[in-house]
Chain A
């Protein structure tokens, strides 16, 4: 088993080595293991499904072209997510535009069971959280995505982003506070007095 993040994708032994020897089937297995992780980050970062697809393709193309450079004593996850982080940043610079506030992120159909009103509220809350995250500055947003979508530790996030663990903590502090302030109406009434509008 490769050195992947706790709770993250699992690769069969030897897949990485086979990829580095040009085995296309092994690369397909690698793609299948990580495609949702990469796409999720790209989608939340860009707020746009089309752009997320572009970023995802670019990530795996870079992975394919550079996998021989991966040292197997390092963490593959942090190496991969550094590629993802760089690809997201590159895309943002290339397009040089504001991130749309979520209108193009497609929602999954809510699960049956709760009332229509509860489902609508949940869908609204989910969309609002995504939009609020997408509106964060990239250096605050990426630690949020790496932590909550991939379960990376602060040390791993620091390695991906090329900063200190303390910087990761500070950035997450800022991001958590921004989310709490932007999304105050979505918190239970009893806690609303604790928001800082």
Chain B
């Protein structure tokens, strides 16, 4: 005798919203149906995550705004769509001219500031990881466990870059020459592989910093759903994620139409892993001196 699956009732069951007889029926079914059990596991994961939602406090000034609306009912409600205002052509041109002038001055000032006081803007990734990013993270975990199979064993950075370019058309942001061993940190280039997930092709390059694996994944910027900032005139913008369970960090940035995701357990936000890609001594000193602006 087959009983029907209980998919439709699983959230209600998890929340205790079923009548006792229904709840017993679902429990009995779950005990013998692997498919519904797997679905229930997934729903329970979603329940646990949703329980992380928290209430926020309304701003104090809201009551005054509401009271004004109540006392002056003739005023337009707050939630009306914005009305477009037309400006005279002359006024628009005058403002455009002032804006251009200010922009030129600002570029001059900011450009000078960048030379003497470079800033790296660092902000938390705003959206959940995409399927590609999740796959990249899982590859890093394989790398950490020593289970990652590399398709190209690194001989020189030049050979590695050529291999990645030949197999993916992507550029591997790895400098020529031997990495410098400074401050007791030893860099060792290990190799690369190509992977594909959710229809997106990526290149993985890995090296170690004091024997600690660093995994760099790159793909075309157009494949990444959430926009990553490219280098601006004044600063380079990174976003990051912290995987607290494992202590891993992920830094994300964009350069020349490619997106980069670097995974590591190096301290702070893992920025020491970046030093491998910057063998020019002046740039490395600048990275160390850079101010991380956490947004």
Interface residues of A (CB under 8 A from B): 24, 28, 31, 35-40, 43-44, 53-58, 60-61, 64, 87, 90-91, 94-95, 101-103, 117-118, 120-133, 135, 144-145, 147-149, 153-154, 166, 169-170, 172-173, 175-189, 191, 194-197
Q: Is B66 in contact with A60, judged by CB distance below 8 angstroms?
A: yes
Q: Is B59 in contact with A53, judged by CB distance below 8 angstroms?
A: yes
Q: Give 27 pairs: A residue, B residue, CB < 8 Å, sorted on A.
A: A31-B66, A35-B63, A36-B58, A57-B62, A61-B69, A64-B70, A91-B79, A101-B126, A122-B244, A123-B124, A124-B124, A124-B244, A127-B124, A128-B125, A129-B50, A130-B53, A132-B49, A132-B128, A169-B8, A170-B8, A173-B7, A177-B39, A177-B46, A179-B45, A179-B46, A189-B245, A194-B41
Task: Give residues of chain B (1-53) contacting chain A, Cβ–Cβ below 8 Å.
Answer: 7-12, 14-15, 17, 38-39, 41-47, 49-53
CA distance A181 to B45 in the complex (A): 9
Task: Evaluate whether A37 and B55 lie within 8 angstroms (CB atoms) in the complex, with A117-B247, A118-B244, A195-B45 already known.
Answer: yes
Q: Is B134 in contact with A197, judged by CB distance below 8 angstroms?
A: yes
Q: Is B53 in contact with A154, judged by CB distance below 8 angstroms?
A: no
Q: Is A95 in contact with B46, judged by CB distance below 8 angstroms?
A: no
Q: Is residue B226 within 8 Å, beta carbon to beta carbon, of the partner chain?
A: yes
Partner of B42 from the list A102, A122, A169, A196 (CB cut-off 8 Å) is A196
Residue in A closest to B197 when the chains form the complex, CB atoms: A197
Interface residues of B (CB under 8 A from A): 7-12, 14-15, 17, 38-39, 41-47, 49-59, 62-63, 65-66, 69-70, 77-79, 81, 124-129, 131, 134-135, 137, 141, 226, 241-247
State how many angstroms separate the Cβ of B221 from the closest Cβ of chain A. 17
CA distance A132 to B127 in the complex (A): 7
CA distance A77 to B83 in the complex (A): 34
Q: Is A102 in contact with B55, judged by CB distance below 8 angstroms?
A: no
Partner of A149 from the list B11, B17, B45, B53 (CB cut-off 8 Å) is B53
